[in-house]
């Protein structure tokens, strides 16, 4: 993993967390560059970017410092599988 990857700066903390959590730097970068959603982080002027890869949701915290983006931290969450509800189970519930 590189401290300067994809045109952004990666903190030692972010690199260490990715190593600890088995997150590929390319996946974290893709989350930052093309997120499914984002929101303000609790840190001033920082944002959390979200992207889902299969059953895993990667979250990246980034902040712009002058003209350079800095990746502060990265983590992932396993998503629960949604139950495949059939029309039969829906109808069954209606008549209970």
Domain around 84: 4-94
DSSP string, 17-59: HHHHHT--HHHHHHHHHS-SEEEE-SSTTEEEEEEEETTEEEE
Say what the pLDDT of residue 85 is.
58
Give tens-digit pLDDT for 1-59: 999 999 999 999 999 999 999 999 999 999 999 999 999 999 889 999 999 998 899 99
Q: How many domains does the chain have?
A: 1
Q: Which two tokens stand for residue 4?
A: 């300067």
Contact 27, 50 (CB under 8 A): no
The domain that holds 22 is classified in CATH as 3.30.2310
Contact 60, 32 (CB under 8 A): yes
**Cα 6 from Cα 75, distance rounded (Å):** 18
The whole-model pTM stands at 0.80
Three-state secondary structure call for residue 48? strand
């Amino acid at each position: 993993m590189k401290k300067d990857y994809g045109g952004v700066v990666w903190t030692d903390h972010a690199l260490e967390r990715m190593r600890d959590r088995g997150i590929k730097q390319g996946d974290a970068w893709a989350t930052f560059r093309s997120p499914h959603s984002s929101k303000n982080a609790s840190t001033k002027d920082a944002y959390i970017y979200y992207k889902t890869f299969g059953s895993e949701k990667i979250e990246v915290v980034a902040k712009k410092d002058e003209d350079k983006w800095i990746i502060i931290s990265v983590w992932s969450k396993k998503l629960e599988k949604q139950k495949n509800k059939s029309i039969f189970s829906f109808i069954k519930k209606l008549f209970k």
